[in-house]
Amino acid sequence: MQTELSTTILPYRMIHDLYVLLDDGDQRVFRAFDLSTSQYAVLVLLDNEQGKRLTDLSAQLLFDKSTITRIVDRLEQSELVRRIADPDDRRAQRVVLTPTGAIRRARAQAAHLESVEQRLAVLDELEHDQLVALLAKLRVGLRVHLADGG
């Protein structure tokens, strides 16, 4: 992924690099809260009332359903979430935050937000907006390309 010659491919490589760098930083933040990146991603999607079905989590995070099952297993062992029966569908389980889980999530989320803000602080407001606009355009293009079956 490093020595390809064309310059057309440059933003591709940089997005790849940036993802690796950002992901590395994220892992450090989450580890301080005894959470993996995927565990954190699940926690962020939950609430402590209605909860979410595992299938919903799978669809939103683009993880296989079996992967969600196991992430929820681990979170349940850590007593950060609970499975409760869905009142309307006996096939379904609803995953809800425990009080402990809600606290852990709030703290991890605050720390993560602060960390990301620090890491992105090299850009001023104009650059920030420009970057968002360009990335948005690219994302739309990629999704269309994906839907076309490319």
Binding stretches for DNA (CB under 7 A): 36-38, 53-56, 62-67, 69-74, 83, 86, 89-94
The listed partner (DNA, a second copy, none) that binds 64, CB under 5 to 8 Å by sort, is DNA
Tokens representing 39 are 């565990």
The listed partner (a second copy, DNA, none) that binds 54, CB under 5 to 8 Å by sort, is DNA
Q: Are 76 and 83 contacting, i.e. CB atoms less than 8 angstroms apart?
A: yes
**Least distance (Å) between residue 100 CB and a second copy:** 20
Cα–Cα separations (whole angstroms), residue 133 to 30, 36, 61, 126, 137: 28, 30, 23, 11, 6
Phi, psi torsion values for 82, nearest 5 degrees: -130, 150
- Beta-carbon count within 10 A of 80 CB: 24
The listed partner (a second copy, DNA, none) that binds 141, CB under 5 to 8 Å by sort, is a second copy
Q: How far is CA 142 from the centre of its chain?
A: 19
Residues in touch with a second copy (CB under 8 A) = 1-4, 6, 8-12, 14-22, 24-25, 40-41, 44-45, 60-62, 109, 112-113, 115-123, 127-128, 130-132, 134-143, 145-146, 150
